[in-house]
Each structure stands twice: as structure tokens, then as C-alpha cells.
Chains A and B, each alone.
Chain A
Amino acid sequence: MRVEGSRLFNPGWHLVRDLHSMLTVAEAVTRSALARHESRGAHSRIDYPGLDDAWGKKHNVVTKTAGAMALTEAPVLEIPDDLKQLLAEDSGAK
């Protein structure tokens, strides 16, 4: 990669600095999206159009393991009791 111009207010220079991290994040997002066989919110798939309750209970986690990306699943944590109570009160008020 090469940058033209000076370091003074040079958007191309910033892009070059950011590009490696942007590609890493893009790959992690794509790997997670391919693994998630459902549609949920902004994650929308033509081959899996519906919500899957099983996927509502787990996250995809991408980690750097021995220099490569590894995809694992982690359970969604239970809502703490005090928050549950607040949510119940909130919906009760409406």
C-alpha cells in the first residue's frame, strides 16, 4: 500500500492505517454471520428467513488462536434478577 501527499490532514493516510483492522473485523463479522443459521434484526438471510429460538440463547465469539481466527459459541447470560424486576415493573406500568 502507498499513500500520496503529506501527513497533514490526509484521509488516505488514515485509511491505510485503519485498513488492516477493518479487514480483520469484516472477516470476523462474516464468519459469525455465516455460522448463524437464522434471521435476527439486521442480520437477514434469504436461506434462513426465520428466527431460531436456539440462536436466541447463544453468541458467536471470534478469538485469535495461534494467529488464526477461531469461532466458538457462548451462552447468552441470564438477565440479573434486579433488572428482571425493573422490566416487569416497566411493562406492568404500561
Chain B
Amino acid sequence: MAEGSLAEVTLRVFRGDQEGGKPTDYRVPLVPGMVVLDALHWVQSHQAPDLAVRWNCKAGKCGSCSAEVNGRPRLTCKTRLDALPLDEPITLFPMKAFPVIKDLVTDVSWNFRVNQKIPPFQPRPGVEWKMYQRDVDRVQEFRKCIECFLCQNVCHVLRDHNKKEQFGGPRFFVRTASLEMHPLDGVSRTHLLKEELGLGLCNITKCCTEVCPEDIHITDNAIIPLKERVVDEFYDPLLMLVRKIRSAKKV
């Protein structure tokens, strides 16, 4: 790649594992159109063959190459070098919210355990298998998620407070919203949202929406409508009164 290329860039890449580590500098020749992942591959093939990077598609669709580029959570395959200041080193660190396996590779298996708590799609008994386009469109946005976990990484409930036992994180509010808003689904997940996924811990700072590479409006379209559902079911005083009267009649 780039024989005789004059321009070079310095990558400051975290090298280490769960025992600890430190950043190491690599000089990489600059090629027009290059993205951060290309530069990492150049380092792998020329300077550090043991540099660990998780990647698959190089096209922003697999959600594997998440890292923190100059302190910002990004997909390295979608971050062009010409969009970054090249007169200073580009820092590359693994996602902070997850335990490091090696270099830029983190253990994201906690996410898969949270996912298992969510009851899958189940159609209402005898429902007519017919949907309006606007209902389809509403859910389709959530299905764009590529599970890069950048939203999980940036969410302060997970990143700064490490509430992994009490909180599900933006990714799983998006998944729950896609099921709750499905016009044919018959399962209620409001109790799960309130008690297991800790929806109330989210205070709508919209950091997740800001970093989403698929531009899903996580806060506005998923989290806030889910918060409304939880409030309707558990905190609405008028509904509480109605339910009390109804349950009293039965006795």
C-alpha cells in the first residue's frame, strides 16, 4: 500500500490485555480515502501482526470494529482519516464500558445475556396477519441496529456507574421497543422494563442517539415511548384509581 507516499499519520493504539497495557505509536502512510480500520490493517501487516482488532465487513454493517477514536466511540471502518486532525496522533482505545480481551477487542458477552431476558415476538392468539405500512415503518427503524454496542459504551449508566446488573442499556430498549410496538405482538414487557432492564435509570442525555452509526433515534423513538408505557401502567394516579375500584368490585 502507498509506495512512495509522503504523508504519514501516527496512530496511538492501546496495546494490552486485562492485566493492563499502554498506548504504542505506529507511523502509517496516508492513502486517499483511508479509514481508521485500513490504517490498523496496515499496522497489522507491516509492524504488529499480533495487533488484535475485531472486524468483518469493512462496510459499516457488521458492527464489529467499534473503538474509541480520539476519545469518541466510532466504527473504525466508517471513520475516515481525512475527517480527523492528522498533525497530532490519532488515539485508539477499546470501548471503555466493556472488559478488554486484548488491544482493541473487548468482551461484549454481557449484552448477549441481557438480550436473553427479553421475551421474543409472540403474536396475539388469532390475530389477523395484516399490518399497516406506518406500523411497519415505526418498527423498521429499530431493526436497522447492527449491534455495534457503541450506545451501550457511551451510556453513563453503564460507562461511569457500571450498573450492568440493574440496567439493560439503549441497545436493548431499542430491541424491546421493536417488539412492544409490533402491531401483531401480544406480550407485555413493561414489567421487565421497569424491574429488570432499569428503564428509570435513563435520564435522557441522548448520548446513545448521538453515537449511533445507523442514525436510530434511540432516545426519541424508543426510550421515551417506553418510559411513557411504564408510567401509564405503574404510575398513572387516575388509572390506579380505576384499577382499585375494579379489583374492589371482584371481592
Contacts and interface: CB of A to CB of B under 8 A. Distances in A.
A11 B51 contact: yes
B103 A9 contact: yes
A9 B104 CA distance: 10
A5 B51 CA distance: 9
B101 A9 contact: yes
B103 A4 contact: no
Contacts of B12: none
Contact of B17 (A4, A8, A12): A8
A6 interface: yes
Contact of A12 (B44, B103, B105): B44
A10 interface: yes
Could you tell me the dominant secondary structure of chain A's interface residues? loop
B102 interface: yes
Nearest to A4: B50
A61 interface: no
Interface in A3-24: 3-6, 8-13, 15
B102 A9 contact: yes
A1 to B, nearest CB: 11
Could you tell me the dominant secondary structure of chain B's interface residues? loop
B102 A8 contact: yes
B52 interface: yes
Q: How large is the interface on A (under 10, 10 to 19, 20 to 34, 35 or more residues)?
A: 10 to 19
Specify which of A4, A6, A12, A13 lies most central, judged by the most chain B CB atoms within 10 Å of its CB. Answer: A12
B4 to A, nearest CB: 26
Given A9-B101, A9-B103, A9-B105, A4 B52 contact: no
Contacts of B52: 8-11
Interface string B105-149: 100000000000000000000000000000000000000000000
B49 A3 contact: yes
Contacts of A13: 50
B86 interface: no
A9 B44 CA distance: 13
Interface in B187-221: none
Interface of A: 3-6, 8-13, 15
Interface of B: 17, 44, 48-53, 101-103, 105
9 contacts: A4-B49, A5-B49, A6-B50, A8-B17, A8-B52, A8-B102, A9-B101, A10-B52, A11-B50
Given A8-B17, A9-B102, 14 more contacts: A3-B50, A4-B50, A5-B49, A8-B52, A8-B102, A9-B52, A9-B101, A9-B105, A10-B50, A11-B50, A11-B51, A11-B52, A11-B53, A12-B49
